[in-house]
Chain A
Amino acid sequence: MKQALIALALCALLAWAVWREPVPLVQHREVFALGTLLQLSVADPLPPPLLSKVQAELRAFEKRWSPQGDGELARLNALLASQPGAPLPEALRAGISAARDVCLSSDGLFDPAMGALVQIWGFDDERNFRSEPPPASAIEQALSASPSLCAAELGDSIKLTGIGARLDFGASAKGRAVDEIIALLHRHGIRNAIVNAGGDLRAIGRRPDRAWRIGIRHPRGDGPRAVLASLDIADGEAVFSSGDYERYFLHEGRRYHHIIDPRDGYPATGSQSATVLHHSAELADAAATALFVAGPDRAADIMQRMGVGLWLLVDAEGGIHASAAMRERLEGLP
């Protein structure tokens, strides 16, 4: 009789284990930040106070790096509008120095001092969004009046080759922010998470059951064909993509998107999307922009100069280019 009861208890336990609602392996939280929807996917316990800390850090970051307003960068820009040089706030030094180095290694394809150009194209702010290209004369003027960050001297202060520079780190700020949030999570004991800022992401650790798996969106795909390829990412890897399919307007049958070529002041032609894999989100962000602008002809060269070994480019005709190392990592690539 006792045996029967024990057996029954064991069966009940087994039944409960089998039929209860599975505990989610990964928790997801979404916040609006960095001009997009930022998603945190965490496989470790995520205490609510930590989420608040993340949001506070994001607010501080946005203020610090916003080209206008009353943050550090905005005040620096106000000075640089009429002077070639100004003192560099402590909080901006590391970021600007890193950006200058990337400017050089990208051969000027990534140039955050082109803020004036970004501004006249109107992609930086919802309110300035355009429906037709700015007049050619305005583009010419913005182009000639902007000194390049590549030639800047940095230290306690910044010295550029001319006045009128407007620093806009839109092409690398998300990456920097993602790196900072990852570091914040790490400091608080999180070892397995993804920080995804509207399609630009970095991961640490892995899921309990497998590695983090990322899909790369097809620039022209929708619905069932939305994903171009997928890959498993390793601890600390970032995946950043630049594309012409999110921020753009159509005018007289032509697409004008937000990735401006610093060489001619117009949206870069030649690419539909560019994706970079790297352990530094800040570099991956800048590199994805540079790769997009470089186009299929200069892609391999520029990526090598920037120290990026894993990259993928879809050109204007839909042709796929990728480094050999990246092809090995990707699954499902046509």
Chain B
Amino acid sequence: MLAGYAALAIVIHILEAGLPSPVPGIKPGLANVITLVVMLRHGWALAAWVVLLRVLVSALLLGTFLTPTFLLSAAGAAASLAGLWAVSELHRLAGRQLFSAYGLGMISACLHISGQFFVAWKLFVPHPGLLVLLPVLLSASLAFGLATAWLAQNIVSRMRPVPLT
């Protein structure tokens, strides 16, 4: 099952990588829909696996493994997963789901772009002028985060409930 989700995420990611983006650095991040679906149905641990596999295998297939692109991708994924982990812990402690798919979507998208930006800024383009891009990137990621969350929510509601075993 993990393999199935991972494969799906990888395919979506690679297809999206092939699409031109109007603004460099901004992609809808449709593969994140899979991450959210897995998180909502199976929890953080499995979602983390899916993300890890997606980042690694995509990089290998696209030939970007161990390049700066890979580093950015990994940084974004790491930040995003960290945020989702925090939320899952919060939910565990609170005993209920404070955030819905929309909250998860916003958190994971904004943290993803922030992680990428931070690495890009610190390692590749230390120019302070780069900072002016940050609010633009965050706005886009906020919007896309809500969009992918909407998709994830709709997919989850159409799936059969998770078996209890």
Whether A and B touch directly in their complex, counting CB atoms under 8 A apart, is answered as no
